[in-house]
Amino acid sequence: MSLADHSGGLRVAWPSPWSLGAAAIALVVLAPICAVIWIALFPTDNIWPHLLSTTLPRYLRNTLVLMAGVGVLSGAAGSGAAWLVSRYQFPGRAWLEWALLLPLAIPAYVGAYALVDLLEYAGPVQGALRQLFGWQTARDYWFPEIRSMGAAIVVLSAALYPYVYLLARNAFREQSASSEEVAQSLGAGALGRFWRVGLPLARPAIAAGMAIAMMESVNDFGTVDYFAVQTLTTGIFSVWLQSNNAGGAAQIASTVLALVILLVLLEKGSRRRMRFFNLSSRHRPVPRAPLSGAAAWSATAACAVPFAMGFLLPAGVILSHALDNAETWADPALWRAVWHTVTVGGVAAVLTVLGGVFLVYGVRLSGRALPRLLLPATTIGYAAPGAVLGVGILIPLARLDHALADAVEAATGHDIGLVMTGSAFALVLAYFVRFFAIAQGAADAAMGRVSPNLALAARSLGRSQRRTLTEVYYPLMRASVASALLLVFVDCVKELPATLLLRPFNYETLATRVHDQASLENLGGAAPAAVLVICVGLLAVGMLARANR
């Protein structure tokens, strides 16, 4: 774009540094996704025909079964619990309403380790059964196979149903009492009102929660690996680390990416086709109906079961091991993992939130169409599984790292080694891309609540764009920035697939220590790190509960 100057010539109106910076941040976020697609299309060694004829159908079938199972089970548990706490009064409802969020604090892989420890052949449950009935070996009785697809679905659903519960509960709360009264006057009972009124009106929210749970199940590695369920995510690790074929790993990763994008589009399409509006000028919330007798205690039990499966069972087993193995708390390796987790997660959280604020502010200052189109595109990193981002980051970064080391050695004669892939840089970059959507969403929402007149007044008083951001916007969005920092940090602490792929040699975080020790069947050694991960998760759940009062 050019503008005429006073001498009659033309001068170019260059983009501002804020716009250029915003475009650069968007490029960093989107680059790993583009890299995965490029490597998959142009691999060094094309094994796509081999994958199609051997392992890929099995990986894809297991992934689809896992997604469907987790979607249905988490949807049923989350929406059912949300309906009960929103519509009825029963014993324990007040504390169960918030306790049902607690499974978000426990990563699914921790729940998997706890369930196997409790129910395996040598565990306390089967041991008690053998002692009680006098059974001698496993041939004397039948017990469900713990390391199986069914168990993986149950564990992941118990960890992920709060996504459905939280969105469904808010949707049920927002429904008007008039629709319930009309349905009741037409003779609809409690179950009829749920199926014909409450559930259809809350369907968009429930579909969104189920989509999140299904995407998280695709991202999971620790649970399916421990249960020996071969999914697309485990296939990425197998093809890359065991077969040493980066192109094949990228091709599987591109399949995962296509699956996730399809799921997002289906979810958005279902919400677009189904919209409801409150036509009443006086909105009245639906009053809670009191339950008594067996119905009341049945409602309590129905809400307590997912809470027990998702939080009480794994937290109790892990805490028991942590107390029984108190000496492991003094292990220097544990505290090195704590230091690595806090530093890498802290740096990533700060950079991610700063990047999110910079991008949103730069797009607002630009006022052009292209930056506004890039803004929603940068949220794709959150939908992309960590293993996919690991492929998209490590392969290009390794090539760049080797080229940089060779160039420095040729110029100076000094070998600097692998600066980026040999340090925690790749981890920070992966966390930045993976959780950028959280920071960007928080910044966009917070800036949207600030009146543009305040920024215009500051500019008219001579404040620069930078000072307008720091002196006007930041004080008004400080709480949102702090919340985004905490949420990003907590997700960095819990992230396992990307950390396993991108960590430097002999570099442990709390998540990788839990996985490594549990993989060696040493749950006592994994318990202290798991307890610390759970404690960090509880901070985020507490903040989430406070925000959704």
The CATH-assigned architecture of domain 1-42+342-549 is Orthogonal Bundle (1.10)
Q: Which homologous superfamily is 47-275+296-324 in?
A: MetI-like (1.10.3720.10)
Residue 26 has pLDDT above 70, yes or no: yes
Q: What are 131's two structure tokens?
A: 């002692």
Range in 154-163, 260-269, 433-442 with the lowest mean pLDDT:
260-269
Joined together, the tokens standing for residue 449 give 């609540």
For residues 252 and 56, is the Cβ–Cβ distance under 8 A? yes
8 Å CB contact between 177 and 286 = yes
The full set of domain ranges for the chain reads 1-42+342-549, 47-275+296-324
CA 325 to chain centre: 31
Q: Any residues with CB less than 8 A from the CB of 437 and at least 6 apart, and which? A: 378, 379, 380, 381, 382
Q: Rg (Cα) of the chain, in Å, rounded? A: 26
CA distance 154 to 160: 10
Q: How far apart, in whole angstroms, are the C-alpha atoms of residue 518 and residue 113?
A: 7
Whole-angstrom Cα distance, residue 68 to residue 214? 7
Averaged pLDDT score across all residues of the chain: 85
Are the C-beta atoms of 524 and 334 separated by less than 8 Å? no
Give the amino acid at 460. S
Output the pLDDT for position 183: 63
Nearest 5 degrees, angle CA 337-CA 340-CA 342?
105
Burial code of 76-106, b = ≥16 C-beta within 10 A, e = fewer? Answer: bbbbbbbbbbbbbbbebbeebbbbbbbbbbb
Per-residue model confidence as pLDDT tens digits over 486-509? 889 989 999 999 999 899 888 999
pLDDT tens-digit series, residues 331-381: 999 999 999 999 999 999 999 999 999 888 888 887 666 667 777 778 888
> Taking residues 306-310, what's their average pLDDT?
94
Cα torsion angle, 202, 208, 214, 217, sign:
negative
User: Can you give the pLDDT at residue 186?
Assistant: 61
| Rounded percentage of the chain residues whose pLDDT exceeds 90 | 37
Does the pLDDT value for residue 546 go beyond 80?
Answer: no
Q: Which residues 6+ apart lie within 8 Å of 295 measured at CB? A: 90
Query: Which pair of structure tokens corresponds to residue 508?
Result: 């442990």
Contacts of 474 (CB under 8 A, 6+ apart): 481
* Token output for 360: 């949103």
Mean predicted confidence (pLDDT) in 201-222? 87
Most confident residue range from 72-81, 173-182, 415-424:
72-81
Same fold, 1-42+342-549 and 47-275+296-324: yes
Tokens in use for 118?
């409790």
